A and B are shown apart, each in its own frame.
Chain A
Amino acid sequence: MSEETVAASGSTPNDMTGFVADWSSDQRAFKNVPWGKAMMWIFLLSDTFIFSCFLLSYMNVRMSTTVPWPNPSEVFALEAFGTPVPLLLIAIMTFILISSSGTMAMAVRFGYQKNRRVTTMLLIVTALFGMSFVGMQAFEWTKLIVEEGVRPWSNPMGAPQFGSVFFMVTGFHGFHVSVGVLFLFIVARKVWRGDFDTQKRGFFTSRKGNYEVVETMGLYWHFVDLVWVFIFAFFYLW
């Protein structure tokens, strides 16, 4: 740990001693963490529990059903060049979401460098990746509902719980992505207009923002990607 980092982050070192000192200092516990970022982390923690409950109930119904579970590898296969490729669309969606995470991470960095042009561009690219993800999900849902006849209460492939779990988990995740896209556009507009340089007050909060807002936005977006990692592993690959 370098001397500068210690100096920049308060008086205590960043080890167990510092951890205890931060929490017992009778002051703010999260030193040098902007309140918006701390609150976003706490929100994400609560969201972690929500998604965990979904995945847990999925695990529980899948373990307890006596009817065979539909094979996701076959259900989500797509025809490509005349042969069915397993999970083709899901794989593309995964790579798109990872790419959007990459552009988001770089937007945060260029934001702190006050490079408004590049930051705006990267935020919009991230939002477009997010929109294409939701678009593919809409395609996947349509295919499953119209062609495969999957319903939340039944499906022709096997255990009826498959449909309810699928719509619940991917629907909730898709909703998160959609909200993220909306906020990405809002933050991109603020960066483009220079709100964080001119200390313009926010429309909704009436607070002055700065480029930490981009990082907080990034935390949310990376979390959406993080949740997809678990959905991909547990729902599609298992």
Chain B
Amino acid sequence: MSDAHVEGQQHPISIYFKVWILLFVLSAGSYMVDYLALQGYLRWSLILTFMLLKAGFIVAIFMHMVWERRALLYAIMLPPIAILVFVTLMTFEGDLTFFTRGVTFAAQTFQAVMH
């Protein structure tokens, strides 16, 4: 590596402060969702939005992903898509287990009450 080459990831310190403040604001936002006891789709969508924004800023700026070459970016960021497939599968599985338990346990409770 030649001396003229700028070594490693060096970025203005102001960008770290900006992201830091932003993460504070986003965390406060997600905390307020719980504090104000928002419910239903509003709660879900707000929690997920704040979560993804926070995760995105941490990976992009703090972990320097926006400044990395695409060879690394895609190698790390594409495999987690498999997790989304897993989530989908486990959603069906969870629903089935819930349904089965509902059928079985309801019958057992019914018999217990009758006796």
Contact = CB atoms under 8 A, between A and B. Distances in A.
Interface stretch (A103-111, A142-150, A184-192): A103-111
A229 B31 CA distance: 12
B115 interface: no
Contacts of A223: 63
B40 interface: no
A31 B30 contact: no
Given A19-B70, A22-B69, A64 B101 contact: yes
A108 B61 CA distance: 12
Contact of A19 (B48, B64, B71, B87): B71
Nearest to A108: B9
A73 B34 contact: yes
Contacts, number: 167
A218 B71 CA distance: 21
Interface in B72-98: 72, 74-76, 79-80, 83, 86-87, 90-91, 93-95, 97-98
Interface residues of A, number: 67
Given A87-B34, A95-B24, A233-B47, A109 B54 contact: no
Given A95-B24, A95-B27, A101 B58 contact: yes
B58 A222 contact: yes
A112 B31 contact: no
A230 B74 CA distance: 21
Given A63-B95, A237-B34, A94 B70 contact: no
Interface of B: 5-11, 13, 16-17, 19-20, 23-24, 27, 30-31, 33-35, 37, 43, 47-48, 50-51, 54-55, 58-59, 61-64, 68-72, 74-76, 79-80, 83, 86-87, 90-91, 93-95, 97-98, 101-102, 105
19 contacts: A19-B69, A29-B71, A30-B71, A42-B76, A45-B76, A52-B83, A59-B90, A85-B35, A98-B23, A106-B13, A112-B8, A215-B8, A222-B59, A225-B62, A229-B51, A230-B51, A233-B48, A237-B43, A237-B47
